[in-house]
Every structure is written in structure tokens, then in C-alpha cells.
């Protein structure tokens, strides 16, 4: 890995309210209010990024965009991978530009995310069409300590991407569609 490293886990919760209660109980300070994130994963037609275990994502949040490259996950109990990200002003224009370069969107997913923080760890509450999750991102000890404080063990760690979680969830529901999006986003 040659760039900044992302280390994270997800924890599944019964509801967004339960996730919020668990996060607030840690004493974490609010960082960003609840907002819709509309993410698109891109690749070339031959699938070369996915083949290497890499991800190229455009995140649209209120019209502004973040372009993120994630390298292949490293062997670990947590998800550990290189992450490079930059902010771009116009999400639709960025998508058009990338499509002109030959990339295409192969998966789209939405979530409502709110962020909290503690020293060394960012906690996010993700409300998705397939359930509620708390994502812990930061240093290994901070993540481990927070997971324990939330009553969780390494057996509870979810390191799958939202694409993999969605694919598993829709396994018995082929009519679920190919993208993990809300029927109509709520506020």
C-alpha cells in the first residue's frame, strides 16, 4: 500500500434508533448531521478494477462530489485498505467526465449517514435499504475498544462492502433490483 490506509468495521443494528443510542452512549461528539449519500461504483467494461479487488467511487452529497479510490482489502479481522480521496465540486459532471473516459457505473447505493467522533475514531450511523449499521473507522485499538464498549466482539464485525451485503440480501429476492437505492428518499 502506498497511500493513506483506511481501517474500518461495520456493526449491524436492529434499527437506526438502536444504532444512534449505542453511538451516543459512547460519548461521541456529533460531527455531521444526517444526510443522504448517493454512491456510484465505476469500472471499465472489462471489470479490471473489480478483478483486482479495487473500488472507484463517486459520492454525491447535496451536489458536491468525492472521488475515492480504494485498493484491495488486506488480510485482517478488520477491513484494511489503501484509500485515496479528493473532493470535486460537481458530481453529475464528474460522472459524465469518467464515462467519457470509458468507465461505467456498475453499482449504485444510497444511505442516510450521520457522523460522530471520538479521539482516533469516526463513528457513522448508516441507514440503508438493507438495514442499519454503525461504521467505526480509525486506529485498530480505538475501533476494538469502541466495539467492546458497544457490547460487540470480533465475531460481530462486518467487513463486507455494501455491494456484497446487498448481493447477499437480495439473493432470494431477484426482483429487488440491481442497485441498493431507496424507493423514494426521505428526509
CATH number, domain containing residue 152: 2.40.320.10
pLDDT tens profile 137-149? 999 999 999 999 9
27 belongs to a structural domain: yes
32 belongs to a structural domain: yes
**Is the pLDDT assigned to residue 14 strictly greater than 60?**
yes
185 belongs to a structural domain: no
61 belongs to a structural domain: yes
13 belongs to a structural domain: yes
**Is the pLDDT assigned to residue 185 strictly greater than 60?**
no
Mean pLDDT, the chain, whole residue set: 94
Which H or E element spans position 130? none
Domain that holds residue 81: 5-176
Q: What is the largest CA-CA distance in the chain?
A: 48
186 belongs to a structural domain: no
181 belongs to a structural domain: no
Overall number of domains in the chain: 1
The pTM assigned to this predicted structure is 0.92
pLDDT tens profile 34-78? 999 999 999 999 999 999 999 999 999 987 899 999 999 999 999
Band (183; pLDDT cuts 50, 70, 90)? confident
pLDDT tens profile 123-169? 999 999 999 999 999 999 999 999 999 999 999 999 999 999 999 98
Q: How far apart are the first and last CA of the chain?
A: 38
Location of C-alpha cell 448508516: 126
The predicted structure's pLDDT at residue 140: 95
50 belongs to a structural domain: yes
Amino acid at each position: 500500500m502506498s497511500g493513506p490506509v483506511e481501517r474500518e468495521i461495520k456493526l449491524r443494528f436492529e434499527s437506526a434508533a438502536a444504532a444512534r443510542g449505542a453511538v451516543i452512549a459512547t460519548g461521541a461528539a456529533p460531527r455531521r448531521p444526517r444526510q443522504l449519500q448517493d454512491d456510484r461504483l465505476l469500472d471499465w467494461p472489462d471489470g479490471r478494477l473489480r478483478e483486482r479487488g479495487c473500488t472507484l467511487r463517486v459520492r454525491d452529497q447535496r451536489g458536491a462530489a468525492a472521488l475515492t479510490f480504494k485498493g484491495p482489502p488486506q488480510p485482517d479481522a478488520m477491513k484494511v485498505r489503501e484509500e485515496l480521496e479528493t473532493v470535486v465540486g460537481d458530481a453529475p459532471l464528474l460522472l459524465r467526465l469518467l464515462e467519457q473516459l470509458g468507465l461505467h457505473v456498475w453499482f449504485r447505493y444510497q444511505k442516510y449517514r450521520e457522523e460522530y467522533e471520538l479521539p482516533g475514531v469516526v463513528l457513522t450511523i448508516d441507514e440503508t435499504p438493507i438495514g442499519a449499521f454503525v461504521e467505526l473507522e480509525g486506529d485498530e485499538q480505538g475501533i476494538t475498544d469502541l466495539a467492546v464498549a458497544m457490547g460487540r466482539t470480533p465475531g460481530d464485525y462486518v467487513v463486507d462492502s455494501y455491494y456484497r451485503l446487498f448481493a447477499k440480501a437480495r439473493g432470494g429476492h431477484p426482483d429487488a433490483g440491481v442497485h441498493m437505492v431507496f424507493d423514494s428518499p426521505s428526509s
